[in-house]
């Protein structure tokens, strides 16, 4: 199965930061402006991240609920835009020049089209009593420092393909098959139907537990230089068996007639995969003329799947009477 892996990357958000200092001189003279939305002082417009902002300062607080306090807002003034930003509203110590954070908001969306153009959502900033008499107010001067951070849209790279090295196909079977083709290094001989056929001990032992016992077990039949006689098997069948042992496949163009003796050979040498391959071929060849002999073969050599397939074929066949009438099936019964 061919697979494809691709990747894209999101780089960190680009941040643009700016600081605006809003000096309020004559702080006490601005008190008493009231609590409505027009009772405030606006800083000059300043730009951060390509957008216009301003600080709105309410000396008496915005709304009666925060009476005795001041309210401070950061306001987005650019039209028809949305901006993701955060800010840190600070008060400056008039003696040291150092600022201290009073109010922060995490990154949020400022929308110039509605109430979201203002931040924060709360109207409380600090109480009069906390400012008056403190180092933040000196010579009737109050200094607000606002640090605004604007977050640009993240940059996403174009889709790229992951590095890939194609997996080569398995070739072990090809190399093992060459051992048989090249006819080199043979170390065991068989006499089959009067014909001498050679092979490699370790390959046979690797593929068949019966060959392993015969060639390497305590009851091994042949020493180096001796031949093993194979009875009740034709040379062509034994060669087909060796071909499967070395290549894990049947010889090309193999006829169904050869498959039946290969079932016997596979059962004899405990080669379960070869037996299943043969069962599959015989199953595809089932008809009223072959089912009886195939069923007998399956029953004799413990081919359970093939046996069940034959019985199902007989049960489902439209010509059951013809099948039952065959001499083979009568003999099997």
Domain harbouring 254, CATH code = 3.30.710.10
What gap in Å lies between CA 278 and CA 255, rounded to an integer? 11
Residue 239 dihedral angles phi and psi, to the nearest 5° = -65, -40
**In this predicted structure, what is the pLDDT of residue 132?**
87
For residue 195, give its domain range. Answer: 172-285
- Specify if 164 maps to a domain: no
Per the CB < 8 A criterion, the answer to whether 259 and 294 are in contact is: no
What gap in Å lies between CA 260 and CA 282, rounded to an integer? 8
**In this predicted structure, what is the pLDDT of residue 1?**
59
**In this predicted structure, what is the pLDDT of residue 225?**
60
Same domain, 200 and 132: no
**In this predicted structure, what is the pLDDT of residue 69?**
86
Spell out the per-residue pLDDT of the chain, length 333, in tens.
567 788 888 877 788 999 999 999 999 898 888 777 778 899 999 999 999 999 999 998 887 667 788 889 999 999 999 999 999 999 999 999 999 999 999 999 999 878 888 888 777 888 888 888 899 999 999 999 999 999 988 888 888 887 877 788 889 999 999 999 999 999 999 999 999 999 999 999 999 999 999 999 876 655 666 789 999 999 999 999 999 999 999 988 766 679 999 999 999 999 999 999 999 999 999 998 899 999 999 999 999 999 999 999 988 876 565 555 555 555 555
Q: Is the N-terminal amide bond of 120 cis, ω within 30° of 0? A: yes
Same domain, 225 and 99: no
**In this predicted structure, what is the pLDDT of residue 245?**
96
The CATH number of the domain where 91 resides is what? Answer: 2.60.210.10
- Specify if 307 maps to a domain: no
Count of structural domains within the chain: 2
Sheet architecture: strand order including 227-230? 195-199, 188-192, 227-230
**In this predicted structure, what is the pLDDT of residue 31?**
86
- Specify if 156 maps to a domain: no
Per the CB < 8 A criterion, the answer to whether 189 and 196 are in contact is: yes
Same domain, 189 and 133: no
Same domain, 49 and 79: yes
- The answer to whether the pTM exceeds 0.85 is no
What gap in Å lies between CA 240 and CA 269, rounded to an integer? 13
**In this predicted structure, what is the pLDDT of residue 184?**
92
Same domain, 27 and 116: yes
**In this predicted structure, what is the pLDDT of residue 319?**
59
Same domain, 135 and 186: no
- Specify if 193 maps to a domain: yes
Tell which residue, 57, 69, 70, 40, has the closest CA to residue 145: 57
Same domain, 104 and 177: no
Per the CB < 8 A criterion, the answer to whether 265 and 292 are in contact is: no
**In this predicted structure, what is the pLDDT of residue 323?**
57
- Specify if 239 maps to a domain: yes
Residue 17, CB-side half-sphere exposure with 13 Å CA sphere: 8
What gap in Å lies between CA 110 and CA 77, rounded to an integer? 10
């Amino acid at each position: 199965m061919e697979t494809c892996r691709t990747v894209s990357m999101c780089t960190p958000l680009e941040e643009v930061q700016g600081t605006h200092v809003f000096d309020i001189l004559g702080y006490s003279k601005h008190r008493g402006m009231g609590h409505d939305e027009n009772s405030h002082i606006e800083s000059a417009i300043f730009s951060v991240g390509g957008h216009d902002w301003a600080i709105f300062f309410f000396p008496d607080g915005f709304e009666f609920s925060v009476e005795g306090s001041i309210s401070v807002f950061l306001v987005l003034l650019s039209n028809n835009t949305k901006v993701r930003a955060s800010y840190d509203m600070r008060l400056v110590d008039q003696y040291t020049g150092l600022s201290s954070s009073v109010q922060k908001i995490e990154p949020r969306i400022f929308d110039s089209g509605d109430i979201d153009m203002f931040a924060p959502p709360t109207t409380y900033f600090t109480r009069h009593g906390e400012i008056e008499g403190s180092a933040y107010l000196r010579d009737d001067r109050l200094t607000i420092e606002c640090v605004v951070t604007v977050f640009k849209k993240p940059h996403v790279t174009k889709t790229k393909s992951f590095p890939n090295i194609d997996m080569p196909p398995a070739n072990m079977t090809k190399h093992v098959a060459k051992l048989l083709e090249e006819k080199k290094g043979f170390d065991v001989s068989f006499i089959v139907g009067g014909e001498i056929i050679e092979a490699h001990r370790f390959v046979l032992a690797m593929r068949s537990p019966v060959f392993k016992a015969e060639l390497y077990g305590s009851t091994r039949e042949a020493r180096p230089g001796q031949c093993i006689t194979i009875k009740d098997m034709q040379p062509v069948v034994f060669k087909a068996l060796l071909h499967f042992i070395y290549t894990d496949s049947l010889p090309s163009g193999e006829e169904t007639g050869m498959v039946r003796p290969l079932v016997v050979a596979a059962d004899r040498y405990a080669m379960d995969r070869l037996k299943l391959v043969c069962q599959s071929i015989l199953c595809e060849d089932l008809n009223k003329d072959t089912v009886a002999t195939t069923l007998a073969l399956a029953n004799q050599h413990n081919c359970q799947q093939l046996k069940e397939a034959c019985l199902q074929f007989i049960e489902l066949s439209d010509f059951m009477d013809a099948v039952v009438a065959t001499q083979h099936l009568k003999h099997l019964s």
